[in-house]
Amino acid sequence: MVTVSVLKADVGSYPGHVKVHESLLGEVDSVLAESDFLTDYRVAHCGDDVDLVMTHDLGPDAEEVHGLAWDAFTSAADVAGDLGLYGAGQDLLSDAFSGNVKGLGPGSAEMEFEERPAEPVTVFLCDKTEPAAFNLPLYRMFADPFNTSGLVLDPSLHDGFVFEVQDVKEGDVAEIEAPEELYDLLALIGVTSKYHVKSIRKPDGSPAAAVSTDKLNLVAGEYVGKDDPVAVVRNQSGFPAVGEATEAFSFPHLVSGWMRGSHHGPLMPVSQEQSTPSRFDGPPRVVGLGFQLKDGKLVGSHDLFDDPAFDYTRERAMEAAEYMRRHGPFQPNLVGAEDLEYTTLPAVLERLEKRFEGEKLRN
């Protein structure tokens, strides 16, 4: 069995929240290089987030792997501090590691499976958004035949997939089968402020996809930045083809998390090089990296959205971004009241509370 673990954190960036500094990438690389239990790894980045793609045989949530990532992020945070980067160490919410990064700030998406003779895996890394940003593309990838033609054409996909859906606030999880319970699935995951897709598997139990689903602001109890999620997806021969996985991002749907975690904007698929959100701290980005696995070793990555075929999507994204921005501080550029609870707005509203005192209007 091989485990693919993608762990990520924002431990400082420049200028402001735009870009990870090269020296942070070098620092995490040198920490991971020392490990004697990783089969392989790659260091990636999206916007102000450092993403570690690691393979090993220790299974998901392994203390060694999470501890190693924690050490890498901590060392990088020190480098960020020395360089005077913005938000140095911001996602490291604790002084001490306690067995797992969950609840401590960094995000993790992990999957353990029997490696097939040829095993393509894609990894999607986001910045300036939140885990539910994956709801729509994962639905399209694994349940929508207008996106994934294999659901209709290939007998090995025809039985569909099981979605594990998590209630963001309560943490409870429900398993919903597609296509049998398609409307129930959509009834849940369309409500992105409340539910997100946590993982997907085939009906025989084989893991198909995993998403990092920690809500950083809920963990910390106050606004400390966003969750900037990552996802891992298996591809081909019974799973969506690589092109069906990327096709799911060809529509730049609106997600929450742009500027101060308080705005909706289109999710724009970009190359790793272009994952530098500089317009109004956005718009939100997604990077796609493709690999083959061989005995747990990573072949690649290939930068999937570094392709003129996505220029059209990027143009549409900027049209949507422009349209949304013209609303300024009004909804729906501004996110809904429920999501604003976890931003800096409540502190402003608190000051205004006494202005609402006085006689209630009777009718």
Q: Rule CB under 6 A: is residue 8 a binding residue for ligand F6R?
A: no
With CB cut-offs between 5 and 8 Å by kind, which of Mg ion, ligand F6R, none does residue 49 bind? Mg ion
Distance in angstroms (rounded) separating the CA atoms of residues 314 and 235: 24
Residues 66, 196, 215, 226: which binds ligand F6R (CB under 6 A)? 226
Interacting positions 45-74 with ligand F6R (CB under 6 A): 48
Q: Quote the Cα angle for 1-244-184, to 5°.
A: 85
How far is residue 247's CA from residue 50's CA, in Å, rounded to a whole number? 25
CA atoms within 13 A on the CB side of 22: 1
- Rounded CA gap, 127 and 277, in Å? 8
Q: How far is the CB of 227 from Mg ion (least distance, A)?
A: 9
Residue 264 sits in the site that holds ligand F6R (CB under 6 A): no
Map residues 119-138 to x or -, x wherever contact with ligand F6R holds by CB under 6 A: ---------x----------
Query: Looking at 27, 40, 48, 247, which residue binds Mg ion (CB under 5 A)?
Result: 48
Q: What share of the chain is helix, strand, coil (3-state, %, to 5)?
A: 30, 30, 40
* Active-site annotation holds for 194: no
223 in active site: yes
Nearer of residues 202 and 215 to Mg ion, judged by Cβ: 215
225 binds ligand F6R (CB under 6 A): yes
DSSP state of 237: S
- Among this protein's residues, is 342 annotated catalytic? no
Q: Among the options 226, 227, 228, 342, which is catalytic?
A: 226
Q: Among 125, 139, 66, which residue's Cα sits nearest to residue 99? A: 66
Binding mask 172-211 for Mg ion (x = CB under 5 A): ----------------------------------------
Quick check: 87 and 198 in contact, CB under 8 A?
Answer: no
Mention every residue, 6+ apart, whose C-beta is less than 8 A from residue 66: 7, 97, 99, 100, 101, 108
49 binds Mg ion (CB under 5 A): yes
Are the CB atoms for 81 and 29 separated by under 8 Å?
Answer: no
**Positions marked catalytic:** 10, 223, 226
The residues of the shown chain that bind ligand F6R, judged by CB under 6 A, are: 16-17, 48, 128, 225-226, 259-261, 281
The residues of the shown chain that bind Mg ion, judged by CB under 5 A, are: 10, 13, 17, 47-49, 87, 127, 228
